[in-house]
Amino acid sequence: MKIFIDSADLSEIKKYMSWGLCDGVTTNPTICLQCGVTGGKKGIHARAEDIVKLISPHPLSLEVTTDDPEELLKEARAYAKLGENIAVKVTITDREGNSLLPVIHTLVSEGIRVNVTAITTFNQAILAAKTLESACRKASSIKFPHYVSIFAGRISEEQGVERAFKVIQDVRAWLDLYGYSNIEIIVGSVRSPENIEYWGRAGAHILTIPPSVIAKSLQGARTKETVAQFIEDSQKSLKKLR
């Protein structure tokens, strides 16, 4: 399982790269704002360029800011020019519920890596996967994986964690059954250490995790107590060994 750091903070990303925990990065305008990025779209582009260089060849998944098909195509193509390791995040539908699969098919056919996002059902995931697979064949080359992003946190809020687990599990089984080896499941809305355990066991290829949740996942009251005891015992033993 891969971990994508959900951030636009260069120092945080660099830290987790040095730990071997960063297999990619996901970000969006809201995260950029929280990380101190300014300058509108130009600022986002500039920060994206920095991240692309920092994590290459690992992917940066960058969210578009529109659901208008023509504007979306224009923005996605501009993002794709930032680097070969850019994946453009496109929602499965627009805000009215109209499918954006035609736009996604066009982008993938042009050789642009796409992360189909805001997926909350099994049906959405497999239809997105079909579109991605079809467009890959049209492009006549598979240079990198494409993604379906399942928002497990949102599914859990509405239908319970068991349902979210089942959606991830069933989508993974379906992809494996039909040999969609170039499409990977990203699970978003990871909000707690418990989510990491649960979604990881469900069969997700990738979890997007904010740095704050990674930090919490490394903590454990019993671990701190045990380490303190180890150090204390070691120091006592060293004194007796003199």
Active site residues: 89
Give the orientation angle of helix 122-139 with respect to helix 161-177, to 10 degrees: 30
**Residue 5: φ, ψ to 5°:** -80, 125
Query: Which of 154, 164, 100 is CA-nearest to residue 132?
Result: 100
Distance CA 239, CA 242 (A): 6
The partner residues of 116 in beta bridges, in order of sequence, read 90, 148
Contacts of 182 (CB under 8 A, 6+ apart): 132, 133, 136, 142, 144, 145, 146
